[in-house]
Amino acid sequence: MATKFLALACIRGNESRGHLSPRPHYPSMPKYPKGVSAEEKNVQGSEAKAMFSVMGMTCSACAGSVEKAIKRLPGIREAVVDVLNNRAQVLYFPSFVNEETIRETIEDVGFQATLIQDEMNERSSQVCRIRINGMTCTSCSTTVESALQAIQGVQKAQVALATEEAEVHYDPKILSYNQLLETIEHTGFEAVLISTGEDRSKIHLKIEGFRTDNSMRMIGNSLQALPGVQEIDMDPSVNKFSLSYKPDVTGPRNFIKVIESTGSGRFKAMIFPEEGGRDSHRKEEIRQYYRSFLWSLIFTIPVFLTSMVFMYIPGIKHGLDTKVVNMLSIGEILRWVLSTPVQFIIGRRFYTGSYKALRHGSANMDVLIALGTNAAYFYSVYSVLRAATSQDFKGTDFFETSSMLISFILLGKYLEVLAKGKTSEAIAKLMDLAPETATLLTLDNNGNVIREEEIDSRLIEKNDVIKIIPGAKVASDGFVIWGQSHVNESMITGEARPVAKRKGDTVIGGTVNENGVLHVKATRVGSESALSQIVRLVESAQMAKAPVQKFADRISKYFVPLVIILSFSTWLAWFLAGKFHGYPKSWIPSSMDSFQLALQFGISVMVIACPCALGLATPTAVMVGTGVGASQGILIKGGQALESAHKVNCIVFDKTGTLTVGKPVVVNTRLLKNMVLQEFYELIAATEVNSEHPLAKAIVEYAKKFREDGENPAWPEARDFVSITGHGVKAIVRSKEIIVGNKSLMLDQNIAIPIDVEDMLAETEEMAQTGILVSIDGELTGVLAISDPLKPGAQDVISLLKSMKVRSIMVTGDNWGTANSIAKEVGIETVIAEAKPEQKAEKVKDLQASGHIVAMVGDGINDSPALVAADVGMAIGAGTDIAIEAADIVLMKSNLEDVITAIDLSRKTFSRIRLNYIWALGYNLLGIPIAAGALFPSTGFRLPPWIAGAAMAASSLSVVLCSLLLKYYKRPKMLDTLEIRGITVE
């Protein structure tokens, strides 16, 4: 029942284009409380619905315990708990239980519960994307995420370290996005709003020519009065207007026209120049780290030379060792002066980062760096001051340790952000697909072109007619109203072969027109376009955490405090060993004493431990994996889908449109009377052209082949047309009574069916074909066989899945005869036929209960309940109508082999995540003991702090580079031969 409920929610979600995340699956629950009489069961109006925000749930076990507790209460009809959105939805009978009792029950289980009013009656959820500057490791992202989730009205908050962004689902009735920004700022990070709301189109306009605030208000009022304008934000400092509007009602060209007419031609409006969004922020971050590293190098190189190179050149050594005051030398003063700007000006970011983290009770990478460099720097200051005030003190400073440490860490961070920028190249490439300009056509009433005008492609409005010349990109989603051409859609769908386009065919914005001129009528613009939906899906996918990342998040809580304890213990152990002569004096280098040796070991432990590598292990791999999938026409909905897909061991296939082409065609005709085939088809096409049934369309399409005017034939007139639902049609054509339909229709009309025709019908059913009988003037005249052909390569795909140890099952609403025949043809052994949509979902649940990880492959419409119920829902047959909400993975090419590619890509991505974790954990487990001096007693090898710092920076970089290698993913070789075979079949 819960699954059915979720399925219905999903279907509603598709209609409203609302966001729906993957749902947990729970067993069915009782409908009514014990003791409810039959009369009470019939009272439909006595039922109520409540939605609770449940904070503190971390996994499905938590959700299960909440659900069980609610179901134990009397009067509960249904309860569905969504762990991802921290939600519990309850249908109950108020005469038995109330909202407060339910809320208290949830709190008794150990979770904080808050009642949310009117949640399901109207859509009260908005999605806000925020860029967060200043995060350095998992600890930072966890701090921000916790702060956002604690706000009343926030339904879900995800903070991604790799993209440095937050995606927050919140109730606009309860709070505004400004409060979200303030919360992030309060945690100590800079917050920049990227977007709010997914259901509204938004345009930014720059206005020139006004001098006073009054002019700006006047323009604002003029725009606000327009129908379809929902919200206006003004920024007078940069003359910017941001408008949210309904694209069905109005559009940007209308806004510009209103603005320019408001001031009698005084004002000029244009699209606000874009700053590149995430890309410009990434470039600025790269520039900042590069500048910081260069300045650090300018100061650090002289420090390094004076402490480690010039000491071996006699003349220079003498000059540097010259005493200024007591034992204070020129070399020490130089190193102090040069390392101070590195420590406090260039390294200021580490102080601010660690202060913000500690203020909120967490510790991050900045804390380790600040502690390590401070220990080296302030011990060196102590050493210098001691030398200046003492006649006989012989100490060594570590100024080169602190400055070189900061330099190497900045170099590592520079290389890391450089590499991280490449992980999100997929989105940048997708966004670049949209052309900058478009040719707008103005047509007269007869459809003739009267004017052409080049406009910014962002100014395209719904129902505009756009001209696409050969070699140009299609500027908007729409359909062809004139012209013929081939369009390369590989950049959107991954389909390598150009697709023929003629009048009535749909085109996708961002694809390339190859050889003919097309006139396209725009149907989807702005945020509604397929390209925008794909970009939004890939962005959301890169935000969504894989469940495996919880492992890193748990470790990060204790990692830094543990490292600080280990570092202090290392210093103490070596210091005490030196104090009590626990090791020979010969172990101590000539340039230092036992305290300094212990201090170096302690600092090395502190700076070699790297929480960043652990934090980046999962998100970088997910980012690259989802990006690679998008480039191959496979849209993966984040880490959850990736993680589930790699475990799949059972796939449930829908038949029509999934295993078969989904378009019935006439494959055979048998005439029982002497007549011309063309005349026969003219009569039945004239009858069937009035029907909307897919089989009727197949007959009409086939009949066109017998006509010279094949594109738009004029069929004879059909009078007295009658459609008999589920049986067929009849009409009078050329004074003849034509009946087209199944066997039962003929028997109803008292038309005799000979035995040989009965045999023909049985034969067609065995071949997975549908037999259609045709009667003319009460006499059986012909038999048509209609088939929905198998997709090329379907048989091979099932065979390959078998070799991958993945079981295949077919579930269809079609009859048993056709279902068994198709299953036999493709090699599927288990078949469920004549199944309704909810029965498909029940079958998926049965398989899950028997221990299978189930993927459902369907067309995303009537298969929605099963897609939702499955561990991984794969929607096949996407194009511009992407079933984003119902499915976890969308296969845009409609090719069955992409099922194998999706599973293979998820396995490769997940193995890369595992490799990243092994590297990150192994690095720390190996590096910390070496830095602590584990090898020093036996080999004399020790790791100076600055080398430990370089190693720490290298570990993060290596994890990112390891993830980047996924960019070179190639689909399984076995599919290349399959594709060739597919082309041969065609």
690-743 pLDDT tens trace: 887 778 888 988 888 887 766 678 888 888 888 887 678 889 998 889 999 888
User: Looking at the predicted structure, is the pLDDT value of residue 606 above 80?
Assistant: yes
CA–CA distance from 131 to each of 161, 162, 238, 487, 740 (Å)? 10, 11, 21, 36, 63
Which pairs from 27-30 meet CB under 8 Å and 24+ separation? 27/2, 28/1, 28/2, 28/3, 29/1, 29/2, 29/67, 29/71, 29/76, 29/78, 29/79, 30/71, 30/76
Q: Which two tokens stand for residue 603?
A: 């600092």
Residue among 366, 477, 553, 654 flagged as catalytic: 654
Beta bridge partners of 177: none
Band of pLDDT at residue 35, cut at 50, 70 and 90 = very low
| Summary mean pLDDT of the chain | 79
Q: Which two tokens stand for residue 956?
A: 């993060």
Predicted structure pTM score: 0.67
CA gap 38, 786 in Å, rounded: 49
Mode of pairing for the β-strands spanning 718-724 and 728-733:
antiparallel
pLDDT in tens, 873-905: 888 765 334 445 667 888 877 788 889 999 999
Classify residue 202 as left (phi > 0), alpha (psi -120 to 50) or beta.
beta
Beta bridge partners of 168: 128, 157
Q: How many CB atoms are located within 10 Å of the residue 905 CB?
A: 26
DSSP 212: S
Q: Which two tokens stand for residue 248?
A: 């069905």
Specify whether 654 is catalytic: yes
CA gap 62, 41 in Å, rounded: 31
Asked whether 48 and 94 are in contact (CB, 8 A), the reply is: yes
Q: What is the pLDDT of residue 30?
A: 33
User: Looking at the predicted structure, is the pLDDT value of residue 175 above 70?
Assistant: yes
Of the candidates 706, 697, 711, the residue with the CA atom closest to the CA atom of residue 666: 697
Q: How many CB atoms are located within 10 Å of the residue 712 CB?
A: 8
Band of pLDDT at residue 355, cut at 50, 70 and 90 = confident
What is the mean pLDDT of the segment spanning 327-336?
A: 90
Of the candidates 68, 84, 111, the residue with the CA atom closest to the CA atom of residue 21: 84
**DSSP track, 423-454:** HTHHHHHHHHTS-SEEEEEEE-TTS-EEEEEE
Of the candidates 776, 783, 695, 703, the residue with the CA atom closest to the CA atom of residue 743: 783
CA gap 917, 153 in Å, rounded: 35
Q: What is the pLDDT of residue 337?
A: 94
Q: What are phi and psi of 557, to 5 degrees?
A: -60, -35
Higher-scoring residue by pLDDT: 75, 469? 469
Q: What is the pLDDT of residue 124?
A: 59
Q: What is the pLDDT of residue 277?
A: 52
DSSP 257: H
Q: What share of the chain has pLDDT > 90, as a percent?
A: 10
User: Looking at the predicted structure, is the pLDDT value of residue 295 above 60?
Assistant: yes
Q: In what order do the strands lie in the sheet with 506-507?
A: 449-456, 437-443, 465-468, 518-524, 477-482, 506-507
Q: What is the pLDDT of residue 978?
A: 60
What is the mean pLDDT of the segment spanning 663-681?
A: 88
Higher-scoring residue by pLDDT: 4, 617? 617
